[in-house]
Chain A
Amino acid sequence: MANIKELKKKIKSTKGTFKITKAMKLVSASKLNKAQARILGLRPYSTELEETVRTVAALATDYTNTYFTQRENKQSVVLVISSDKGLAGGYNSQLGKTVRRFIAEKPDEDLKFFWIGKKVRDLLAKEVNAGKTFTFAKAEPTYEEIRKVADELGQMFMTGEVGKVYVAYNSFISAIAFDSKVRQLLPMQVSAHDKDTIKTKYPYDFKYEPGAAEILDTLVPEVYLTTVYTCMLDAIASEHGSRMNAMENASKNSKEVIKKLSLKMNKMRQARITTELIEVVSGAESLNG
């Protein structure tokens, strides 16, 4: 039967796929390890920094900074951090969905989209007002490169060109989980509720050296930058995590397919042998006849 030959071919190609997915899984696992170490190392710094600024901003009530200015401007810009490469499970499609939901929630804002990574851009380019795509020298941008991106967006906000800056990205939870979200970067917000909690938490003011305003002036841009950088590292770590899982599943599936195909092939081979045997035996019988 020619079918056996076909099955053999199929098994061989599935084995090839299995090897590739397994290799990709291993690569992602090692990249994930590094990315995870980076994001987990950065997180304490960024959360502490953010909390400090919120605290000071809440306590120093008369302080104002351009970063906190609420504008009437309906123009907003969204930075979407996706990946350049596919085969990462639901990584990009989920982010795409989240962005669509976000657009639906903000009908009165004129949104413009900037991109890091081309996957979600390609997904949404036809539906939205697509702007520039940022690219980096290496797959993983350096702090300096992120600073440039953040500065460019910050500048748009500072000059009043846009009223709000958002970032859409996948936040890293664990190797097997991430959370797609859209976060408002600028203007920075300290809600009234937050102010109350902070005030009850810290019922005393700090002593500032040199002064609250000077400290905030240097801190606030730093917080903004660190937030963008955190988002980027979050996105990178979740990309590798997501790809690792996708490849793990793909490997499992191809293993199963190989098993099924082999079983089918063996059955067929057995059937052929049986038929051949019957033919031989009956031939011999008829000769003896």
Chain B
Amino acid sequence: MASAFKLNLYTPKGVVIRDLECNDIVIPTVRGEINILPEHTHILTELSTGILTAKTVNGVRHFSVTAGLCRVLADTVTILSFTSERAEDVDLERAKSAKAKAMDRLSGKESLTDVDLLKFRRKLERAEMRLRAANLR
């Protein structure tokens, strides 16, 4: 029985991680978080914005992910996310200012169109998620 499997994390901007040996991954999906352990069944699911946690022999790693796709196939987990960052790479200052900006726009001082409202809510969500990821490192 395989005790470990590989994690690949790709984004349009580049490869975040390739062939990371893990034995336990928690993935945020549209239906809530799922936990992948070795010998997991083949599954294809949509990602949601959140933090992906991977346990490796060398410790726990965190990645921020946004909308995308997760494919578990045999002993490989492939994550295709629109944007993704390693927790250790998150720019704390930028995330904070992004959060402040989004909060400001959403505070209701100016009226927003539905599209903008959705856009800033997503921005806020992403910024908060990145801050959380940064705090986990």
Question: Which residues of A are at the interface with B, using a C-beta cutoff of 8 A?
Answer: 37-38, 41-42, 44-46, 48-49, 52, 56, 143, 202, 204-210, 212, 214-215, 218-219, 226, 229
Q: What are 7 A-B pairs with beta-carbon distances under 8 A?
A: A41-B12, A44-B15, A48-B10, A202-B73, A206-B42, A206-B44, A210-B31
Complex: how many Å from CA A214 to CA B43? 14
B100 at the interface (CB under 8 A from A): no
B45 at the interface (CB under 8 A from A): yes
Closest to A208 in B: B44
- B10–A210 touching, CB < 8 Å: no
B52 at the interface (CB under 8 A from A): no
Query: B11, B12, B14, B18: which has the most chain A beta carbons within 10 Å?
Result: B12
Contacts of B78 in A (CB 8 A): 48, 52
Q: How far is the CB of B65 from chain A (nearest CB, A)?
A: 13
Q: Which of B8, B12, B15, B29 contacts A209 (CB 8 A)?
A: B29
Given contacts A49-B69, A52-B69, contact A206 B43 (CB under 8 A): yes
Given contacts A210-B30, A219-B69, contact A45 B45 (CB under 8 A): no
- Contact-size category for B: 20 to 34
Closest to A59 in B: B44
Query: B11, B18, B34: which has the most chain A beta carbons within 10 Å?
Result: B11
Contacts of B44 in A (CB 8 A): 52, 56, 206-209, 212, 215
Q: How far is the CB of B75 from chain A (nearest CB, A)?
A: 14
Contacts of A202 in B (CB 8 A): 42, 73
Contacts of A215 in B (CB 8 A): 44-46, 69
Given contacts A48-B78, A52-B71, contact A209 B41 (CB under 8 A): no
Contacts of B109 in A (CB 8 A): none
- A49–B41 touching, CB < 8 Å: no
Closest to A47 in B: B10
Contacts of B80 in A (CB 8 A): 45, 48-49, 52
Q: How far is the CB of A122 from chain B (nearest CB, A)?
A: 31
Complex: how many Å from CA A219 to CA B45? 11
- B42–A143 touching, CB < 8 Å: no
Contacts of A214 in B (CB 8 A): 46
Complex: how many Å from CA A154 to CA B12? 20
Complex: how many Å from CA A208 to CA B8? 19
Q: How far is the CB of B30 from chain A (nearest CB, A)?
A: 7
Query: A41, A48, A208, A209: which has the most chain B beta carbons within 10 Å?
Result: A209
Given A37-B14, A46-B12, A52-B78; 7 other pairs, CB 8 A cutoff = A41-B15, A42-B14, A48-B78, A48-B80, A204-B42, A209-B45, A215-B44
Complex: how many Å from CA A49 to CA B10? 10
Complex: how many Å from CA A204 to CA B34? 21
8 Å CB interface, B1-58 against A: 8, 10-15, 18, 29-31, 34, 41-46
Q: How far is the CB of A62 from chain B (nearest CB, A)?
A: 16
Q: Which of A56, A218, A226 contacts B12 (CB 8 A)?
A: A226
Given contacts A41-B15, A48-B78, contact A210 B46 (CB under 8 A): yes
Given contacts A45-B10, A48-B80, contact A207 B43 (CB under 8 A): yes
Closest to B13 in A: A41
Complex: how many Å from CA A215 to CA B8? 20
Complex: how many Å from CA A48 to CA B68? 12
